[in-house]
Amino acid sequence: MQLRILLFAGIRELADADSVTIDVDDNANAADVLSAIERVLPQAAPLIHVSRLAIDGQYVAADHPVSPTADEFALIPPVSGG
Partner 1 sequence: MIQIELVDSPIHLADWESSLHDVDTGAHAWFAGVTRRTTADGSGGVQITQTLHYEAHRPMAIDQLQQLAQQARRQHSLTGVVIVHRLGEVSLGQASVLVGCSSPHRIDVFAALPWIMDRLKADVPIWKRETFADDSTQWVHPDAQ
- Per DSSP, the three-state class of 75 is strand
Q: Which stretch binds partner 1 (CB under 8 A): 18-26, 27-35, 56-64?
A: 56-64
* Positions in 6-25 near partner 1 (CB under 8 A): 6, 8-10, 13
- 76, 60 contact by CB (below 8 A): no
Question: CA geometry: angle at 10 spanning 72 and 62, to 5°?
Answer: 50
46 binds partner 1 (CB under 8 A): yes
The residue (of 27 and 82) whose beta carbon lies closer to partner 1 is: 82
CA separation (Å) from 9 to 68, 70, 81?
25, 23, 12
Q: Which residues bind partner 1 (CB under 8 A)?
A: 6, 8-10, 13, 46-47, 50, 54, 57-59, 74, 76-82
